[in-house]
Every structure is written in structure tokens, then in C-alpha cells.
């Protein structure tokens, strides 16, 4: 899904981009614009995106003149710090009207509404089973039977709910694009875990988090960096 973000606050653009990629890693931020003028230029010179996030009040005026360029061909999710434009917004092809600061929960609900009301683009397809080697045999492991994945040197492994560790042929970077981001989170460079594998969460030094993961008789630990703590909290809010 290609998304255009029309927003004049750089921090708001960064936060929205992070939330969108957390919701669906396959989302492509096709472009950003910080004014009516730059958004008009973008829309006049590129194919229309699948979805537009649009701040109502931009530095050079309100966004509504831009809607003539879109002509109801791309759905819009309006974003604003105020609610007095709601009636005017719903007169257009408005999927939702989000008040700032946008939360992971409100974004997820808006995206789900968009997919229900305006079936644009392809639904993300996440990995359901893994074919793994167990000794001389091969077997399928259902994703619901996986507690977490970890990297050790150049090798990657999955840990089943019963604690069994099995090698897999995917890097953690590749796994991030294959796993449902609602169910799995990359805690650190070496571990991606399921929400169901979390046994304990504790504050750690330098504003980090220490996550204890449990599967059968296996226990591992992941340290969430200070930069990813806010993403972890947003992910936890969606559950």
C-alpha cells in the first residue's frame, strides 16, 4: 500500500511513519508534503497513492483546496489537533478523522476501517507455517506454536511453545517482513518475540526495558533499546 503524508510538523511525520510501519511493515511511504503548494506539486506529477494522511491546517492554509486534485480517487484520513473541522472533513472521501497526538490504537482502527470500507491494495499475507529441519527429518511448525525467534552468530532459530529450538533459514531482518506485527515484535537485534512469550517486563538502566521470554523449559532475555521503548509501548497498546 502506497501512502502520502501531508503534514507540516516533521516530528508528526516521523511518528506517523513509525506507527504505520509498526502496523504493517509492507506499507510504503510514497511521499511527504508539508504545504498545500508542495502537496499540489506532488499530486500533479505522480500517480495517486492508495491512501492519504492529511493534516487539515498547513503552514500556507487549510488542506481542503487539495481535494479538487484528488477528486475522490484516493481515500483520506484527516489528522488535526482540533475537532471543529470534522463536519467539513466527512463531506469528502474521509475514512477517519484522527486527533493528535495519534495513538497506535486509533491508527490501527482507522486502517482497519479503511480496509473494510475501501478495499484498496492487497491485504498483507503473513507467514502461517515454517518448514524446519529436526535432525534428519523435516517438519512444519505452525506460527501459533512459535514463542520467539533468535539469532546466534550467522544462524537463526525458532523456539516453540514447548521450548524446542529448531534452525530456520531466514534472517531476523527477513522474518520482520513475514510475521504479523500485531503478534510479533523485534525486541532487539537478536530476538523477535510473540506477545504470548513475554513472562516479565522490567525497567533497565539508561531508560531501556528488560523483557523475559519463556517457552516450556527455555528462558531468554531481550533488552529493548531506549529508542525502541516507545514503539514497544505502542505495540503493547494494540494487544
Domains and CATH numbers, the chain: 2-117 (3.40.50.2300), 130-238 (2.40.50.1020)
pLDDT-above-90 percentage for the chain: 48
pLDDT(236) > 60: yes
In this prediction, residue 230 has a pLDDT band, given cuts at 50, 70 and 90, of confident
In this prediction, residue 66 has a pLDDT band, given cuts at 50, 70 and 90, of confident
Count CB atoms within 10 A of the CB of residue 200.
Answer: 11
What local confidence, expressed as pLDDT, does residue 20 receive?
A: 93
Q: Which residues of 135-168 are buried (b: 16+ CB within 10 A; e: fewer)?
A: eeeeeebebeebbbbbbeeeebebbbbeebebeb
Q: In 49-119, where does DSSP find H-type helix?
A: 67-70, 86-90, 104-117
Task: Give the containing element (helix H, strand E) for 95.
Answer: strand 94-99
What local confidence, expressed as pLDDT, does residue 168 receive?
A: 95
For the chain, how many residues are written? 239
pLDDT(238) > 80: no
Average the pLDDT over 101-125 and give the result.
76
What the block records as the C-alpha cell of 56 is 487539515
Averaged pLDDT of the chain:
86
First to last CA, the chain: 23
Average the pLDDT over 11-18 and give the result.
93
pLDDT(67) > 60: yes
What the block records as the C-alpha cell of 137 is 527429518
In this prediction, residue 87 has a pLDDT band, given cuts at 50, 70 and 90, of low
Residue owning grid cell 534472517: 171
What local confidence, expressed as pLDDT, does residue 227 receive?
A: 83
What local confidence, expressed as pLDDT, does residue 15 receive?
A: 92
What the block records as the C-alpha cell of 178 is 513475514
**In degrees to the nearest 10, what's the CA dihedral of 165, 176, 153, 158?**
0
- Does residue 156 have a cis bond before it (omega within 30 degrees)? no
Indicate the range of 71-75, 122-126, 211-215, 220-224 predicted with least confidence: 122-126
Q: Is the dihedral of CA 150, 237, 119, 2 positive or negative?
A: negative
CA angle 217-135-159, nearest 5°? 30
pLDDT(72) > 80: no
156-210, pLDDT tens digit by residue? 999 999 999 999 999 998 898 888 888 999 999 999 999 999 999 999 999 999 9
What local confidence, expressed as pLDDT, does residue 216 receive?
A: 93
Could you tell me if 149 and 168 are in contact, meaning their C-beta atoms sit under 8 angstroms apart?
yes
HSE-up of 144 (CA within 13 Å, CB side)? 0
d(CA 8, CA 36): 10
In this prediction, residue 83 has a pLDDT band, given cuts at 50, 70 and 90, of low
116-136, pLDDT tens digit by residue? 776 555 555 788 999 998 888
d(CA 16, CA 32): 11
More confident residue, 41 or 150: 150
What local confidence, expressed as pLDDT, does residue 124 receive?
A: 59
pTM of the model: 0.54
pLDDT(91) > 70: no
Amino acid at each position: 500500500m502506497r501512502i502520502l503524508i501531508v503534514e507540516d510538523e516533521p516530528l508528526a511525520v516521523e511518528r506517523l511513519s513509525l506507527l504505520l510501519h509498526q502496523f504493517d511493515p509492507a506499507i510504503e511511504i510514497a511521499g511527504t508534503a508539508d504545504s498545500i503548494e508542495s502537496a499540489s506539486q506532488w499530486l500533479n506529477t505522480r500517480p495517486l497513492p492508495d491512501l492519504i494522511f492529511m493534516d487539515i491546517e498547513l503552514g500556507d492554509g487549510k488542506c481542503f483546496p487539495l481535494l479538487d486534485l484528488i477528486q475522490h480517487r484516493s481515500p483520506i484520513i484527516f489528522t488535526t489537533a482540533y475537532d471543529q473541522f470534522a463536519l467539513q472533513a466527512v463531506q469528502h472521501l474521509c475514512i477517519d478523522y484522527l486527533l493528535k497526538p495519534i495513538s497506535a490504537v486509533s491508527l490501527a482502527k482507522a486502517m482497519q476501517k479503511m480496509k473494510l470500507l475501501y478495499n484498496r491494495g492487497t491485504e498483507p499475507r503473513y507467514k502461517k507455517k515454517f518448514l524446519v529441519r529436526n535432525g534428519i527429518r523435516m517438519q512444519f511448525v505452525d506460527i501459533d506454536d512459535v514463542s520467539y525467534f533468535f539469532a546466534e552468530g550467522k544462524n537463526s532459530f525458532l523456539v516453540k511453545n514447548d521450548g524446542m529450538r529448531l534452525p530456520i533459514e531466514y534472517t531476523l531482518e527477513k522474518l520482520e517482513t513475514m510475521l504479523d506485527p500485531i503478534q510479533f515484535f523485534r525486541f532487539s537485534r537478536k530476538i523477535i518475540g510473540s506477545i504470548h512469550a513475554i513472562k516479565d517486563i522490567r525497567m533497565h538502566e539508561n531508560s531501556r526495558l528488560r523483557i523475559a521470554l519463556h517457552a516450556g523449559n527455555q528462558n531468554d532475555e531481550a533488552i529493548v533499546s531506549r529508542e525502541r521503548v516507545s514503539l514497544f509501548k505502542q505495540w503493547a497498546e494494540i494487544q
